[in-house]
């Protein structure tokens, strides 16, 4: 017995496949120039690795939120914006380990990171500050 798929059914199937193909891009709602604008977008982008650009100032209100960069490179372009984490936690904002690398740049020249305990650099890992400013109101900026 032959089954015939209608044009309407085929069109719905193709539309559904396109939606699923676009989900990773849709999950990262980014600005026109590719910048992330929320804590969730920043978290997803850093977890994915590669190039990450801020699209606005981002304030992290959870003082225990930190990003573990392990076994992959991340290049964070502050893009003239501020990344701020409130509080005086002992949790590192960026913990770099196991062959991971974090390079911070600032394509606009006025970007900054403010957090207690901003960078925890472990063995066999790399941290490069090519632009922007890092300020720690409590404790060392880089440990």
Encoded tokens for 113: 């990171």
Task: Of 96, 94, 107, 131, give the one whose Cα is nearest residue 53.
Answer: 107
Q: What are phi and psi of 10, to 5 degrees?
A: -65, -40
27-63 pLDDT, tens digit per residue, is 444 556 689 999 999 999 999 999 999 999 999 999 9
pTM here is: 0.78
More confident residue, 36 or 8: 36
Give the pLDDT confidence score for residue 26 in this predicted structure: 36
Q: Residue 77 above 90 pLDDT?
A: yes
**Residue 50 β-bridge partners:** 74
Beta carbons within 8 Å of 29's beta carbon, 6+ residues apart: 37, 38, 41
Residue 81's pLDDT band (cuts 50, 70, 90): very high
Judging by beta carbons within 10 Å of its beta carbon (0-12, 13-18, 19+), is residue 54 exposed, middle or buried?
Answer: buried
What is the rounded distance in angstroms from the CA atom of residue 21 to the CA atom of residue 90? 40
pLDDT value at 21 more than 60: no
Selection from 128, 132, 67 nearest residue 101 by Cα: 128
- CA 24 to centroid of chain Cα atoms: 14
């Amino acid at each position: 017995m032959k089954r015939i798929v209608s044009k309407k059914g085929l069109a719905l199937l193709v539309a559904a496949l396109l939606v699923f193909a676009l989900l990773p891009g849709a999950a990262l709602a980014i600005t026109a120039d590719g910048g992330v604008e929320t804590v969730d977008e920043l978290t997803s982008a850093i977890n994915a690795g590669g190039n990450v650009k801020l699209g606005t100032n981002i304030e992290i209100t959870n003082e225990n939120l930190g990003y573990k960069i392990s076994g992959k490179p991340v290049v964070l372009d502050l893009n003239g914006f501020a990344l701020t984490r409130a509080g005086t936690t002992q949790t590192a904002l960026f913990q770099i380990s196991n062959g991971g690398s974090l390079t911070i740049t600032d394509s606009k020249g006025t970007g900054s990171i403010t957090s207690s305990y901003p960078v925890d650099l472990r063995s066999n890992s790399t941290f490069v500050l090519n632009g922007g400013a890092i300020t720690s109101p409590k404790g060392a900026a880089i440990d």
